[in-house]
Structure 1
Amino acid sequence: MEKLETKRLLLRPLTIDDSGRIEELAGDYDVAKSTLNIPHPYPKGSAIQFIESIFNAEKNNKILMFAITEKELQLLIGLININLSSPYNRGELAYWVGKQYWGKDYGTEATKKVMEYGFNHLNLNKIFAASFTSNPGSWRIMEKVGLKYEGTLKQHVARFGQFYDLAYYGLLKEEFKTETQNKSTNNK
């Protein structure tokens, strides 16, 4: 898997050495509660198992996961992935960023780059994402990167003993290409 670069970030493959940092950042309750799958409390040592499961899923073309790292400090600040559905040629985005990095547009920057990669290099027909409706930070990222609101599934998931609505956003490759062409035309 290749590395992706933005103005401030390097998106690179995970390594086992990332396990401690993942546990540190994902262990924050506010980060865990904004996701479907991060356990809380985060079990000590379990990030190694998580990373190994990602390696296995990547080998089977089920997922493409990147460590989001600040270029300057080369410090992991979060994770972003596309869950791949080959039969339908689509991918589902998922991401989280450590709490101390919230509000700095790192999530938006990483998501834009991964979407470009998904459409231009993986040749996906559709990229979509879901967010708790109670997590505006996540669905605002989706809107900023051009994903279109597709609908809300009421009380679709349960997390920490409470049901949550999920808002779904998506974008087709043809829409992405049109928007990219329009932006490049407007910037000339």
Structure 2
Amino acid sequence: MRIFDTERLRLRPLKVGDSQEVEELAREYDVSKSTLTIPHPYPEGSAKDFIEKVLDSEKRGELFNFAITSKETQNLIGMINIKLSGRHSRGELGYWIGKPFWNIGYGTEAARAVLEFGFNDLNLNKVYAQAFKETPGSWRIMEKIGLKYEGTLKQHVYRFEI
């Protein structure tokens, strides 16, 4: 079980017991529009199934997923993962932060810890992330942790109207 403590956060394994907090944070439209996979409206009761799928993916070695929690309150703040491509020794960083916790630096703090984990523990050759152009907060996180802009994927994915 991997647990990382940063200055203000604890990154710990996600558990089915987190489903209510995940739903509360993920049902916010501004959160869902910043991700590729969070539906809007968020279906009641679906976080449990989502978490079970994540846990299965972890067992298969496809990703490492962490609940981002406050060290002080232990409350869920968001989620972060690194999806692995073993063939190419790279990982894709993905994250979301609940709207009440935006602009406090939690995303950067968590992303920096998982980036270090990717390079230092997983020995990855490359860690990258992607974001919609309409999510400047995600872009700032990537810049702050040292990721470099490599290009724009025009019409690469379709997401509901933003």
State the TM-score bracket (shorter-chain normalisation).
over 0.9
RMSD of Structure 2 on Structure 1 (CA): 0.8
> In structure 2, how many angstroms separate the alpha carbons of the residues matched to 1:144 and 1:19?
30
Higher-strand-fraction structure: 1
Instruction: Give the SS at the match of 2:41.
Output: coil
> In structure 2, how many angstroms separate the alpha carbons of the residues matched to 1:56 and 1:74?
24
> In structure 2, how many angstroms separate the alpha carbons of the residues matched to 1:19 and 1:129?
25
Matching residue of 2:66: 66
> Residue 157 of structure 1: CA displacement?
1.5
Counterpart of 2:122, as a letter, is L
Matching residue of 1:45: 45
Q: Check if 1:91 corresponds to 2:91.
A: yes
Matching residue of 1:176: none
% identity of equivalent residues = 61
> How many pairs are equivalent?
162
State TM-score, norm by structure 2: 0.98
> In structure 2, how many angstroms separate the alpha carbons of the residues matched to 1:2 and 1:93?
17
Structure 1 residue runs without a partner (length 5+): 163-188
Q: Cα deviations across residues 130-154 of structure 1 (Å, max 9, x unaligned)?
A: 0011111001100000001100111
Matching residue of 2:105: 105
Matching residue of 1:148: 148
Structure 2 residue runs without a partner (length 5+): none
Counterpart of 2:97, as a letter, is V
Q: Cα deviations across residues 123-179 of structure 1 (Å, max 9, x unaligned)?
A: 1110000001111100110000000110011122211146xxxxxxxxxxxxxxxxx
> In structure 1, how many angstroms separate the alpha carbons of the residues matched to 2:55 and 2:36?
20
Runs (4+) off by over 6 Å: none
If you compute each CA radius of gyration, which structure gives the higher value, 1 or 2?
1
